[in-house]
Amino acid sequence: MNTLNKKLIVAFFSVLILGIIGLFTIDQATQSRINNLSIISEVPSFKLDNFDGIPFTEKKLDNKITVVSFIFTQCEGACPIMSTNMGLLQKRFSDSDILQFVSITTDPDYDSSNILKEFSDKYSTKNNWFFLRGDINDVVKLSEDGFFLSASLLPVGHSTRLILIDKDRNIRKYYEGTVDANIVELQNDIVTLIKQD
């Protein structure tokens, strides 16, 4: 065998090996995205009211992928950023009927239905975003026991995390609602969950 043929064979196998490494890596990356969204726990039962007065319970989470946040309308720090980010996701996924958004106020004394409605008009562009209020004790319980997020010194002390819930009511992952990289991550994970169906 002459040197050229030897070199060609080496080149061919190098490319073949790189191809296999590439295929393996791409597959691992895809798998890892699904594995990274492992089930954390199930959302417990709760009952709050949307700003239009219609009750919202855990049953409304069934067969929907839901992004949840805790906010209050007078909040000047994180909430506007979190809500803007949720509004951005709402727009980007506006063609999807499976995705919905939920924001729960940690200041139900001030945040009346009307005020939540005004807040909704500011950030939401579609009727798949629910702004919920209820008894403050129920909200604290839902945050701490349901979502494992601290809720002390309310209204200010609410968590700034966004929660991703799958269509079987399972909590899948948390995202810092004010960090752009986390929002990109959330967007990718929503796509992963939608495509899993």
Partner 1 sequence: MKKQLFFQSAVVSTILSYLLIFVGGLVRVSGSGMGCPDWPRCFGRWIPPTNIDQIPSYIDTTSFNIVLAWIEYSNRSLGVLVGFSIIVLNIIAIYYFRKEMKLFLSSILSLILVAANGGLGAIVVSSILNPFLVSLHMVLALMLVSVLSYACIESYKLIHIEKFKDLEINRALSKSLIVFWILIIVEILLGTGIRTNLELVSIENPLLSKGELLNALDSYKYFHSFLGFTLLFLSTYIYSKLRTNKLYIARFLGIFILGMIIVQIFLGEMMIFFELPQLTRLFHTWGSSWLVGVVIILYNCISNEYAK
* 191 belongs to the binding site for partner 1 (CB under 8 A): yes
* Pick 69 or 73: Cβ nearer partner 1: 69
Which residues from 22-51 bind partner 1, rule CB under 8 A?
A: 22-23, 25-26, 28-33, 36
Kindly list the distances between the CA atom of residue 197 and the CA atoms of 26, 36, 51, 59, 95, in Å, as whole numbers in the listed order.
21, 17, 31, 20, 16
E-strand ranges in 24-160 read: 41-42, 47-50, 55-57, 65-71, 99-105, 129-133
* 194 belongs to the binding site for partner 1 (CB under 8 A): yes
CA 176 to chain centre: 10
Interface stretch with partner 1, choices 64-72, 89-97, 109-117, 129-137 (CB under 8 A): 89-97
E-strand ranges in 95-166 read: 99-105, 129-133, 161-165
- Exactly one of 10, 18, 39, 156 binds partner 1 (CB under 8 A); which one? 18
CB of 173 to partner 1, least distance (A): 7
DSSP string, 41-68: EEPPP-EEEETTS-EEEGGGGTTSEEEE
In this structure, is the dihedral angle defined by the CA atoms of residues 184, 57, 36 and 174, taken in order, positive or negative? Answer: positive
* Pick 153 or 181: Cβ nearer partner 1: 181
* Pick 116 or 190: Cβ nearer partner 1: 190
Q: What is the C-alpha to C-alpha distance for residues 60 and 196, in angstroms, rounded to an integer?
A: 20
Q: Are 177 and 68 spatial neighbours (Cβ–Cβ below 8 Å)?
A: no
* Pick 145 or 180: Cβ nearer partner 1: 180
Task: Name the residue among 128, 131, 119 with its Cα closest to residue 94.
Answer: 128
* 54 belongs to the binding site for partner 1 (CB under 8 A): no
* Pick 101 or 119: Cβ nearer partner 1: 101
Interface with partner 1 (CB under 8 A), residue total 33
Which residues from 140-179 bind partner 1, rule CB under 8 A?
A: 173-176, 179
Residues of this chain that bind partner 1 (CB under 8 A):
4, 18-19, 22-23, 25-26, 28-33, 36, 92-93, 95-96, 173-176, 179-182, 184-185, 187-188, 190-191, 194
